[in-house]
Structures are given as C-alpha cells and as structure tokens.
A and B are shown apart, each in its own frame.
Chain A
Amino acid sequence: MKRRWRDKTERMAADLLEVPKDTLLHVPRVMLVGNEQVVVDNYRMIISFEPSLIRIALAKGEVAIKGDRLVLKVIVPEQLVIEGTVFSVDFH
C-alpha cells in the first residue's frame, strides 16, 4: 500500500517536472547498442538463458531477447549487459 502510494507520487512528480522516466527508481530500462549489446537496468531476475534466447524478469512483466551466441557479459545489481548478435527484443 505504501509502496504503491510512493510510486504514484514519483510518477506524478515526474510528469509534472518533465523528468525522463528512466531516472526514477524501479523503472526498467533497456538500451540497445546496435545489434551487438543490450543493457538492461533495474531487472529483477534472470528467468532463463540460452545462446539464442535470454528471458529477464522486470518489475512488470518480462523481456525476451532473441539472438545468436548471446552471453551475459556482466551481471551486477541493477544492471545486466548482454553481448552477442541480437535479433529482437520482445516485451511480454
């Protein structure tokens, strides 16, 4: 209950002040560098990973990265770097 209220307030403040949404905490951000690298911020967990498909759970829903020879290059809290040949990024 408290969390939801805080989320709501943050969102409102962001809309009001025209702050980009990704600067807010707990909002996932997926960044693509060409088709070679994917950087995922604020992920929750890794659901599964294979060279052709990596599924990552976000705060809401999940993101599936399809590609070839995908490797989880760096895993640190709040950030994930995936390298390989990326074909598609799908949100579910």
Chain B
Amino acid sequence: MAIRIAEFLSGSVRVLILNDPSRAVLSALVARGFPLYDVEYIAVDQYQLTLGLSHVLALVQATRHVTAKVRFVRKWGLPFVIWRAKRRKAFVVGALFFVIALYTLSGFIWHVQIEGTDQQEAVQVALEKLHIYPGGLLYKVLDQDAVQLALLDALPDLSWVGVRIHGTSIYVRVIPRIPGVKALPSGPQNIVAKVPGVVATVLANNGQAVVKPGQFVTPGTVLISGALEDGKAVHADGIVRGIVWYRSNLSLSQKTSVELLTGSHVQHDYLMFGTLALQVWGFSHPPYAHEEIQSVDVPLKLGDLTLPFVLRKETVYEVTPHAETLNESALTQRGLKFAATDVLGLSKGDGKVLRQNVLQRKLEHGKLYMTIWTEVLQDIGINQTISPQPTESVKKKT
C-alpha cells in the first residue's frame, strides 16, 4: 500500500514497446536498476511495462540506439493530475468553490422546528437567545443537553423539552405544563362546627381531631384542630359528620291544579337571527283553550362552520287543567317530602335523612298547617383560618 501511495505521488506511466524482439530496452532498464512493474508479453516483438515517471527520460535514451519504439498507454499519478488541473483552471476553481460553499453553508442553521405547543413564538424567542434561529451560526449553539436545560430555565411553563440537532436542522419538542392546576391553600386553619348537632364520625386527614362521636357541638366548636401540641399550626383537613335536627313549618293547600296533556300539538319552526324570529314552517294556530309551549334551539352547521342563526322548533301542546282535592294523609306525605327536600338543600346535598316526624298538624280553611321535625346526617364542619383573634373569641363563647 505504501508503495502504491509513493507510486501515485511520484507518478508512473505504462508503456508499450514495439519492434524490440531482443528485449534490448528491457535489458537496458534492468541493467540500470530501475524498478519495473507488470512486464507483460504482448507479441514476439512487443511488450508492456510500467515504470516511474522519473525514469521515462532513461527509457527514451535507451530506445535511441535501437530500433524499438515506445508508445505511452496510460499515465497515472499526482503529477498528471496537477498537469491536467493546470490546463483546466476554471474546473478546479469551481470544485474548490463547491467544497468551500458546502462547508460554509453547513455551518448555518437552516431549519428550526418546534413541536408540541401552540405558543411557538415564546419558544422561538427563547431559542433566539440561545442563538437558535434559521440563519444562525451552528458553532455558537451549545450541545443538546445544555440547550434543553437552558430552555427549561427560560420557560417555566414547560415541563419537558427535547432538543435534537440533526445536521443543519434543529428539532425542538416541548411539553407544556397543564394549566389551571393550583396548589391547595395551605394556610393554618381549624375545622369548626357550623351547625349545632351530635358528632357521628370524625375523619381527620390533617390536624388533630378534638371531638368524639356522640359529643354535642355548638356552632364554632373546634372539631379538627390545626394547632398542634408543639405550637405549630397546620392546615387542618377532614370530614366530620354529625346528626343535625331541623324544624320546618309549612302549609299546603288541599285543592291543587295540574295541567294534563291532551296529546294534540302543532309545531312551528323559526329561524332566529339574534332576537328576531322568522317563521319558516308550521303556520297553523289551532284554537287551544290552554296550551303549553316547548321550544328547542338547533344550531345550524355547514361543514365545520356554524351559521349565524339557529333553527327554533316550537311545539304547542294542548293541555286541560285538572283540579284535585287531596285528603289529609296524602297531604302529610307530600309535606314530609317537601320538608326533606328543603332540609337537604340547606345541607348542600351532602346529607342523608335519617328520621322524620310530624310534630303538629292542623287542617283549617282548606289548608293543612304542619310542623315537621327532620333528623339529618350531614357534614357539619367548616374551615376557619387560624389567627390570634378568632381563637380568643371561641374561648369566650365556650
């Protein structure tokens, strides 16, 4: 191999020697000690051989005294490349320019792709500060890991950043944080009773439970304390359920009126432009004595486009009023149901009715007056921030 490289650098030629049946030229070259390669028999008076470029002059001298003739078959090596390059300067300049242009242009950033966010501008601005923008110099850019860390520092809204430098392209993939997740309030607080009642269950997630099941509490009594024994104040958290009693007074009329649907109805269609209604279908107006109207708005769509008007389908039902007189027991049942619904509404739907009792009942002038007692199991706790003043006032109360 080393010989081949040396041969290439010094250059070599392959010659065809004609008209030399006695091998005089070959003998002369061998006698002078020139290295020869691939001496090949062609015909009785012809043969080919390869020799170094520096020995060509000797070859020509050797042929001068004999009848042999020399024909050059192939020229090979660096001297010939240089010789050819000198003859074609424009080509060499073009080739050199191409290499230089390729090298220079590959030093620039050609393409920056940001994926995974709808706020590309913010990422772009942050990237520009790190010298990453189309047309920027690639050697100024830090390595991938450093860019990732710098980008995470610059944009706290991102939870993950992946940067891939691929040749002259830079691919940035980001995962933004999920917005709207806020930390829970963590200020020190107590959980105190909001209504009087008897504690049923205590479930303290944080803080110290200071009441026991079966204990009667009044509003303001601390149920779960955020003030710990060692003087620290924590955010007390938990659910305290208690039995609470409610007394409801109500009056119900014996005569009630309900509207029953007869089954006949008509439909009117309108196109609504804002508040302006344009009737498009169903124009009949039957002579209903009593009617009930039900309307449904259907938004109109054309492909993905929502049209600026809606179709309102209006159904007019015929109804007949139906008067009814209820007896006392039916009214009582209805009253109990009303009282339970009312009480559960007060406990914000978190309660469960345990017992109900009618304390008082009086039928007078077609109306039933009642007092109903309801026992409810419900959450009785409420948060109260710990500050020096409220604890004092609680102490005074108790």
Contact = CB atoms under 8 A, between A and B. Distances in A.
Contact of A51 (B36, B38, B41): B41
A74 B35 contact: yes
B33 A77 contact: yes
Sort chain A's interface into a size bin: 10 to 19
A71 interface: yes
Interface string B23-67: 100110011010111111100000101000000000000000000
Interface stretch (A9-17, A30-38, A42-50, A59-67): A42-50
B38 A71 contact: yes
A48 B41 CA distance: 10
Contact of A48 (B23, B33, B39): B23
Contacts of A77: 33, 35
A74 B36 contact: yes
Contacts of A50: 41
Contact of A49 (B31, B35, B41): B41
Nearest to A77: B33
A84 to B, nearest CB: 10
A48 B258 CA distance: 135
Nearest to B39: A72
A1 interface: no
Instruction: Report whether over half of chain A's contact residues are helix, strand or loop; otherwise say mixed.
Output: strand
A73 interface: yes
A69 B27 CA distance: 21
Contact of A46 (B30, B38, B40): B30
B31 A45 contact: yes
A75 B30 contact: yes
Contacts of B49: 72
A51 B43 CA distance: 10
A73 B41 contact: no
Contacts of B23: 46, 48-49
Nearest to B3: A74
Interface string B1-34: 0000000000000000000000100110011010
A55 to B, nearest CB: 11
A71 B27 contact: no
B32 to A, nearest CB: 9
A75 B35 contact: yes
Contacts of A72: 36, 38-40, 49
Nearest to A75: B36
A45 B30 contact: yes
B39 A75 contact: yes
Contacts of B31: 45
A45, A70, A73, A75, most chain B CB atoms within 10 A: A75
A51 B41 CA distance: 6
A74 B30 CA distance: 11
Nearest to B42: A51
A50 to B, nearest CB: 6
Nearest to A78: B33
A51 B48 CA distance: 13
A88 to B, nearest CB: 18
A56 to B, nearest CB: 10
A76 B35 contact: yes
A87 to B, nearest CB: 16
B27 A45 contact: yes
A74 B26 contact: no
Nearest to B22: A48
Contacts of A51: 41
Interface string B82-114: 000000000000000000000000000000000
Given A45-B31, A77-B33, A71 B26 contact: no
Given A46-B23, A48-B23, A49-B23, A73 B37 contact: yes
Contact of B40 (A71, A74, A76): A71
Contacts of A71: 38-41
Contacts of B38: 71-73
A46 B47 CA distance: 14
Contacts of A49: 23, 39, 41, 47
Interface of B: 23, 26-27, 30-31, 33, 35-41, 47, 49
Interface of A: 45-46, 48-51, 70-77
6 A-B pairs with least C-beta separation: A72-B39, A75-B36, A77-B33, A76-B35, A51-B41, A71-B40
9 contacts: A46-B23, A49-B39, A71-B38, A72-B36, A74-B37, A75-B30, A75-B35, A76-B33, A77-B35
